[in-house]
């Protein structure tokens, strides 16, 4: 799925770097794009994890995470881009360990979450989001 530059994407097709911690996976984005230095990127990544209520996963690597923790890391990686649209692609493929519509609503309801969150999922899962 090709998306414009105003969109951040959370998808099973965009894996985490297995050799990096959750914090490093998130901080890598602004470092790579040249927006911030390592110290500032790490600070923002940790702040974002705390804002999502998951700062306890900062040191975990991909293989040590639950699916919900992995999703939260991917979500934070998208949110650190500060783009107006966030597209979550097939959340059920990533969040098979929690009731995911509720889990996503809880994350989206955290303070200072701005922008539009869009969920793209299989048509048979659409009734899950109308609750």
Of the given ranges (33-37, 58-62, 79-83, 117-121), which has the lowest mean pLDDT?
Answer: 33-37
Range of the domain at 94: 7-129
The total number of structural domains that make up the chain: 1
DSSP letters of 58-104? Answer: TT-BGGGS-HHHHHHHHHHHHHTT--SEEEEE-HHHH-TTS-HHHHH
CATH no. for residue 85?
Answer: 3.40.50.300
Q: How far apart are the first and last CA of the chain?
A: 27
Within 10 angstroms of residue 102's Cβ, the number of other Cβ atoms is 11
Tell me if 2 is assigned to some domain: no
Strand partners, 9: 87
- Token pair for residue 92? 């059920």
Quick check: is 84 in a domain?
yes
Give domain status of residue 24, yes or no. yes
- Asked whether residue 17 is domain-assigned, the answer is yes
- On whether residue 22 sits in a domain, the answer given is yes
pTM above 0.95, yes or no: no
pLDDT digits (tens, 9 = 90+) for 62-106: 999 999 999 999 999 999 988 899 999 999 899 999 988 889 888
């Amino acid at each position: 799925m090709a998306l414009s530059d105003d969109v951040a994407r959370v998808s099973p097709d965009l894996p985490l770097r297995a050799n990096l911690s959750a914090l490093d996976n998130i901080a890598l984005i602004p470092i790579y794009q040249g927006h911030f230095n390592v110290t500032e990127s790490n600070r923002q990544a940790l702040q974002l994890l705390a804002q999502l209520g998951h700062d306890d996963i900062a040191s975990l690597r991909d293989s040590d995470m639950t699916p919900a923790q992995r999703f939260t890391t991917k979500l934070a990686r998208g949110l650190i881009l500060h783009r107006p649209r966030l597209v979550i692609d097939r959340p059920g493929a990533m969040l098979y360990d929690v009731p995911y519509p509720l889990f996503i609503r809880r994350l989206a309801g955290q303070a200072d979450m701005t922008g539009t969150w869009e969920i793209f999922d299989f048509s048979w899962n659409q009734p899950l989001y109308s609750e």
